[in-house]
């Protein structure tokens, strides 16, 4: 498990262990980590696929300026996971296309 220890613009203090779900799979994180950092620590490197050519994208800028980390979080598309803190019980998944709301 490889953890990101520092962030370019956020400071996070590692809190207690929590669990969250990535595409239905239960994963472990620490309170205070971003979603992208928690996914990275769990070996998830592909956060989305480009809408037109379906090319994989991973964590890139880590400061919320690019769109490489956009994911669906608790049913809400286009969440910048490099800036959003992971929460206990949160459901995260790669979004389809440009992030349509699902029924």
Please list, in sequence order, all residues whose beta carbon lies within 8 angstroms of the beta carbon of residue 80, skipping any fewer than 6 positions away. 64, 69, 70
Give the pLDDT of residue 10: 74
3-state percent breakdown (helix, strand, coil) of the chain, nearest 5: 5, 30, 65
Helix (H, G, I), strand (E, B) or coil at 26: strand
Q: What is the mean pLDDT of the chain?
A: 89
Q: What is the pTM of this model?
A: 0.85
C-alpha span between 50 and 24 (Å, rounded): 22
> Which residues of the chain are under the pLDDT cut of 70?
1, 100-103
Domains of the chain: 16-94 (3.10.20.440)
Give the pLDDT of residue 14: 81
CB 36 within 8 A of CB 59: yes
Give the pLDDT of residue 101: 58
Question: Comparing C-alpha atoms, which of 49, 99, 98, 33 is closest to residue 72?
Answer: 99
Give the pLDDT of residue 102: 54
pLDDT in tens, 75-97: 999 999 999 999 999 999 998 77
């Amino acid at each position: 498990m490889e953890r990101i220890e520092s962030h370019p613009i956020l400071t996070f203090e590692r809190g207690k262990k929590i669990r969250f779900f990535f595409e239905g799979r239960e994963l472990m994180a620490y309170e205070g980590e971003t979603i992208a950092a928690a996914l990275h620590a769990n070996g998830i490197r592909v956060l989305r696929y480009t809408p037109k050519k379906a090319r994989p994208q991973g964590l890139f800028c880590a400061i919320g300026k690019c769109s490489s980390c956009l994911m669906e979080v608790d049913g809400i598309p286009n969440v910048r996971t490099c800036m959003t803190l992971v929460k206990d019980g949160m459901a995260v998944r790669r979004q389809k296309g440009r992030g349509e709301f699902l029924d």
